[in-house]
Each structure stands twice: as structure tokens, then as C-alpha cells.
Amino acid sequence: MLSKENPSISSESSLLPETSSRSPIDLRKIPSASIRFCGDSGDGMQLTGLQFTTTTGIAGNDLMTLPDFPAEIRAPQGTTAGVSGFQIHFASQDVYTPGDKIDLLVAMNPAALKTNQGDLKRGGILIINSSSFHERNLTKAGYDFHPMEGDEGARLKEKFSVISVPISELTLNSLKDLELPKNQAERCKNFFALGMTYWLFERKLDHTLSWIEKKFAKKDILIEANQKLLKAGYYFAETCEFFSTRYEIDPVISEPGFYRNLSGSNAIALGLLVASKKAKLPLFYAGYPITPASEILHELSMYRNFNVKTFQAEDEIAAAAAAVGASYGGSIGVTASSGPGIMLKEEAISLSVTTELPLIIIDAQRAGPSTGMPTKTEQGDLHLALFGRSSDSPIPILAPFSPADSFLLIQEAVRIALRFMTPVFFLSDLYLIMGSEPWKIPDTDLIAPIEHGMIREGDDPSGFSVMKRDSKTLARRWAVPGIDGFEHRIGGLEKDVESGNVSYDPQNHEKMVLLRRQKIENISSFIPELEVFGEKSGGLLLLGWGSSYGAIREAVLSSRGEGTKVSHVHLQYLYPFPRNLGDILQSYDTILVPELNLGQLSFVIQGKFGIQLKKMTKVTGKPFLVSEIYQKIRELA
């Protein structure tokens, strides 16, 4: 049996009734809950989840979310391939993950029930839209029996608190006085389900009622319909006598300030915008539509009034080449994609290596190879970022550990790119790009300026050489076109180490290859040392990177609470490594490396430091569960 001290790794729901005798409506205070809305991809589950998220943030809870949706734009309606879901974990204490098993599942059709009931904790609440459980939908979902009837129904009710509500029917009845076509009226049913959950967890309706007015402005009938259904769901839950308990989760104690809900794509876009202002340079983003990186293009396109230019290119190669050209012209060049697109960009990325031009490459990793599973997460591109180019082409690699961490770390990527005149990889993933959490809006006046060596109009050209380097960073001069006296040659051919002219001399080529590598290795002297959470030596150390942070940290916290000697260190800088990483690794008896791939970081660590590691790998398209890492700690500690 897993520990019940931490609700995230408990096998039973915190919504499980404590006794069989209760007053009609009992208000119970709980520390946290995880809920999931799921239904057909046209049922508005993402919108429903986002509204619950915003309302919960306003209520003062800490939270993390995990949207999950099909790759097909028009998956067959009612099938398991077309199920869309949205999970949110909210609590009165710090939240690190969207939750493992869930406490409440809202299933809008049979396919949603079939694909999601395995994630519902024993004793959890299962709200079912019984109107959709007819023969046609059951057949589409692959059922040859009715899951709510007979022995199957009895087993379901034995495991869960099943609330069967004819949501579609109640939706149509609630809107029968409005002149709204039946198909449009039924599409509003998600607000009825949302209203029920608002009542169950004591959420206020105000924000969503206001949002509906703004969302459907100039469509009065839709405003009336959706607001009516939100209230109808709320008051139905209050009066139906299906529920004997409501649940209260206290606000988390947070630093005073202004907060907003922040997704990974929000954070990257805002971080790039701040970096542009702190460097006093224009920002140029070039991309090609691909899931989930397209979210960044959508975000940045809203900031055209802040000297931000966005360009949707005809293909991935053109997008990368355009970003390199923008950097040559004096902008912060940025491009983004996922694994398949990054492979196409590599030739242009190699060009930025040899021309030594700053470039930000954002890899929103997803399950591969090739097209793979476009809407599922993975950490499979570390080796691609390290080794995916011709010859010796070293590039710094950074990886954020949470949606909010992306805001500051993308600025660090820009800082390194400009200071060292190099492209920089930024390895996010679908889990971080699409997930969200509350974020305290920072005072940007406290963020340090970003320094760079761009030559400006009026600078003295005496003794200019494009290959003249900074003695500390080894970065070359950044001379942009059009400034008199700073003309120079640049391109993909090898350059003379002194003049920058084309050179085919063997010894010169070796000097340039070594120089470019040393420049990147020097970055380790400019980045912070790693900090260990837990004991500084001995016992078990968990070494992670990227989005595995939350599951690792929560599992380590739970284990340490039980007296287990286990520590955690997390890498944001994957090349070059922080300078104290080797010393840290030598200080522990056992090192476990959880990764959403087949052991790419483990491969690199063992090769560089000669240290034997324990690998923990997962390639299901889903993030680590806290319980998975917790169990592994118990095996090794």
C-alpha cells in the first residue's frame, strides 16, 4: 500500500466518505484534489478545464494542469480516438504536478469513461452524462455491454461514487425557451457540468459569468444560454440529493503580489519579450505550424506593438534560415518546432554555429520518432540537440523545469546567445508548453540588462576584425550590415582564425573547431553551480532534467518525510554542465536518473564522468507519476 500522507501517491480518494451517516450536506475540508473533465473533442473540455483553472486560481489555491487532446483535427465523434481531457490538481499547499490518480472524473460519453476510468482513485466521484450512454455511442466506444447496468454497473458502483446525470437532456430542457437549434443547445452542456463541479468544490460563478459575456459578445442568445446552464448545473448539484458532501480547500499561503495563470507558451513568449527589452534589440520569431510549438507563435503575434516581428514561413528550413538572417541583421533571432521540424532546421542551425551568430532554437519536444504522437509528451530530443549536426558543432542546451521557470530561463538562453555569439537550444516539451500554474508577475525593473557586443553606428572601426574575440568569453565581434568601416565576409565556409576570410588550411580548421568548442565550454564558468535538495552526500540521489522535476521533487519530499535518505538535483543547463556536477555525483552511493526517453542523459553522464547510474525510463507519451518515482525510491533506498 502506498503512503497516504501524500494524497498524490495515495490509492484512495480524499473524497471518500469517512462514515456512512452524514447530514444532508456536509462540508469537509481537504488539502487537495485532482479532477479531470473528459469527453468528445467537440464537447468543450479544454474550455471547461481552463475556466475551472482560472476560478481556482482566483480562489487562491496553488495548481497545475495537464491538457490532453487527440492528434486528429476531426477524430470520429464518440470514439476513444477522439477523447479530449483536461486535468487539474489544486491544493492548499505547493503543487508540483497535475496529480497522479484523480479524485473526480467527469465523463461526457462512453468513450471518455472507457479511456479514463482507470485513472480514478478507489472511492472517487464519477459523474457520468447518462444521456450519451445509448447503443450507438456504446458501439462507437467499443463496448459490447452497458457499463452502467448489470454486474458491470454494480462493480463500477462498488469502486466509485457514481453520479449518473442526464446532462444532455437537462441541457435541452433548460434551454427549451430559447430559439437555439438543438445541436447548438447541446454544445452548451459543458457549462452544466462545470456548474456542478463549482458547487461541489465551493467555487464562485462570478468570473465565468463575466467571461461568458466577453467571449460571446454580440451573441446575446449564447450569453443567456451558457450563463443559464452554468447556474443550472450549480443549483442542480445543490438540490439533486446525489451529493452528501461538499469540499473546501483553503487558499495557499503565497507572497503578496499580482498573480496570473501562466502556461509554458505564455512564459516563453513573455520571457522573450522581456529579453528583447533588456537587450534593447528587436525580436524576430520565425516558425512553421507544428504541435505544440505553434502556441508560441500565436502568443508572440500579439506583441507586434513591442518591436516583435513574427513570420510564418513556408517550411521549417525557411523558418530557421530566416531567424539566422534576422540575427545577422541585428535582431534576436528565434525559431521553434518539435522533433521532426528541428531535424529539418539543423542545416541552418549549423550555419549559425559556423557564422557564430546568436540564435534561439526552442524544441517543444513530443513523442517520436518522425510524426510520432503529436499531442503526447516526451524528453526524446536531448541527443538530437547535442549531436544532430554535421561535424563538431557544439551548442549550449537549457531546459526549464516548469511552465513558470520558462519565463526566466528563456531570458538566460538569450543572455548566453548574445554574450557568447552562439545558437542556444531551449528544450521544453508538450507537458510544459500546454500545462499551466499560478505565477507571480515580477517587477521587470529588477531584471538585469542583457549585455552584448553589437557594434553600433558611430563606433570606431580602427583595427576592426570580425574575428577579434573577447578574452573571457571568446565571442567574436557582432558587426551588422550597413555600418561604415565594419564590412566583413561571413558564410558557411571555414574562416581564417585571424581575418575571417575563407580558409581551407588544415591547421586553421583544427584551430577553429577547437576554438568554437572552447567558447561553449567556457560558459560553465558563467552559470550558477548546482544546489542539492537534501543531504549533500551519501544515500540515494535523484538526478533529473526538464519536466520530470515536479514528480521527482514530490516523490523525494514524501520519501524524506518517512525518514528515507534521498536527495534531488535538477539540471537546467545540459551543455555545458554546471562545473560542480562531477563532484556532486561522486558524493552519493546510488544515482537514479528518471527520464521520459530510453536513457539519453544517463548515456551522456556515464560517458563524461564514468559513473554507473540507475536508469528509470518511460516512453508512453505521458509524464511521470509521483507514485512511480516514489516506488522506485523505495526499491533503491
| pLDDT exceeds 50 at position 1 | no
Domains of the chain, earliest start first = 7-13+23-248 (3.40.920.10), 260-446 (3.40.50.970), 540-636 (3.40.50.920)
CA dist., res. 341 & res. 288, Å (int): 8
Taking only the tens place, the pLDDT of each residue in 514-573 is 999 999 999 999 999 999 999 999 999 999 999 999 999 999 999 999 999 999 999 999
Which of 432, 413, 433 is closest to 423 using CA atoms? 413
CA dist., res. 13 & res. 31, Å (int): 12
CA dist., res. 304 & res. 323, Å (int): 17
> Is residue 584 within a helix (H) or strand (E), and if so which, with residue range?
helix 581-585
What is the distance in angstroms between the CA of the first residue and the CA of the last residue of the chain? 17
Per DSSP, the three-state class of 419 is: helix
Residues in a beta bridge with 542: 568, 592
> Is residue 391 within a helix (H) or strand (E), and if so which, with residue range?
none
Distances (CA, A) of 9 to 534, 562, 622: 20, 13, 17
CA dist., res. 19 & res. 513, Å (int): 72
| Per-residue pLDDT, 4 | 40
| Per-residue pLDDT, 7 | 65
| Per-residue pLDDT, 293 | 96
| β pairing state of 83-91 and 62-68 | antiparallel
SS3 content of the chain, % helix, strand, coil (to 5): 40, 20, 40
Taking only the tens place, the pLDDT of each residue in 455-508 is 999 999 998 999 999 999 999 999 999 999 999 989 999 999 999 999 999 999
Taking only the tens place, the pLDDT of each residue in 343-379 is 999 999 999 999 999 999 999 999 999 999 999 999 9
The answer to whether 360 and 410 have CB atoms below 8 angstroms apart is yes
SS (H, E, C) 118-147: HHEEEEEEEEEEHHHCCHHHHHHCCCCCCC
| Per-residue pLDDT, 116 | 97
Question: Cα torsion at 503, 509, 515, 517 (round to 10°)?
Answer: 130
| Per-residue pLDDT, 74 | 76
Question: Cα torsion at 212, 76, 89, 561 (round to 10°)?
Answer: -170
Taking only the tens place, the pLDDT of each residue in 59-86 is 999 999 999 999 887 788 999 999 999 9
| pLDDT exceeds 60 at position 196 | yes
Rg (CA), the chain: 27
Per DSSP, the three-state class of 89 is: strand
| pLDDT exceeds 50 at position 22 | no
Phi, psi of 198 (to 5 degrees): -60, -45
Residues in a beta bridge with 593: 615
Instruction: Please compute the mean of the pLDDT values over residues 282-303 and round it to a whole number.
Output: 96
Cα-to-chain-centroid distance, residue 133 = 34
Taking only the tens place, the pLDDT of each residue in 299-342 is 999 999 999 999 999 999 999 999 999 999 999 999 999 999 99
Position 3 confidence tier, pLDDT thresholds 50, 70, 90:
very low
**Measured at the alpha carbon of residue 305, what is the angle toward residues 303 and 306, in degrees to the nearest 5?**
70
Taking only the tens place, the pLDDT of each residue in 403-420 is 999 999 999 999 999 999
Over the range 401-423, which residues count as b (16 or more CB within 10 Å of their CB) and which as e? bbbbbbbbbbbbbbbbbbbbbbb
CA dist., res. 79 & res. 141, Å (int): 5
User: Going by C-beta distance under 8 Å and a sequence separation of 6 or more, which residues neighbour residue 90?
Assistant: 32, 33, 34, 56, 61, 62, 63, 249
In single-letter form, the type of residue at position 349 comes to I
Q: Which cell is 143 given?
A: 463496448
Which of 513, 521, 413 is closest to 473 using CA atoms? 521
CA dist., res. 472 & res. 253, Å (int): 44
Question: How does DSSP classify residue 64?
Answer: E
| pLDDT exceeds 80 at position 18 | no
Mean pLDDT of the chain: 95
CA dist., res. 256 & res. 79, Å (int): 46
CA dist., res. 209 & res. 596, Å (int): 40
The answer to whether 627 and 618 have CB atoms below 8 angstroms apart is no
**Measured at the alpha carbon of residue 331, what is the angle toward residues 302 and 483, in degrees to the nearest 5?**
145
Position 241 confidence tier, pLDDT thresholds 50, 70, 90:
confident
Question: What is the number of other CB atoms lying within 10 angstroms of the CB of residue 510?
Answer: 11
Residues in a beta bridge with 28: 247
Taking only the tens place, the pLDDT of each residue in 153-172 is 999 999 999 999 999 999 99
The answer to whether 606 and 567 have CB atoms below 8 angstroms apart is no
CA dist., res. 53 & res. 48, Å (int): 9
| Per-residue pLDDT, 76 | 87
CA dist., res. 513 & res. 447, Å (int): 35
In single-letter form, the type of residue at position 585 comes to L
In single-letter form, the type of residue at position 89 comes to H
| Per-residue pLDDT, 635 | 97
Q: Which cell is 368 given?
A: 517520436
The answer to whether 9 and 630 have CB atoms below 8 angstroms apart is yes
Residues in a beta bridge with 569: 543
| pLDDT exceeds 50 at position 426 | yes
Cα-to-chain-centroid distance, residue 619 = 17
Question: What is the number of other CB atoms lying within 10 angstroms of the CB of residue 153?
Answer: 15
CA dist., res. 302 & res. 308, Å (int): 9
Per the omega criterion (within 30 degrees of 0), is the bond before 403 cis? no
Per DSSP, the three-state class of 42 is: coil
Q: How many CA atoms lie within 13 A of 21 on its CB side?
A: 0
The answer to whether 356 and 395 have CB atoms below 8 angstroms apart is no
| β pairing state of 590-595 and 540-545 | parallel
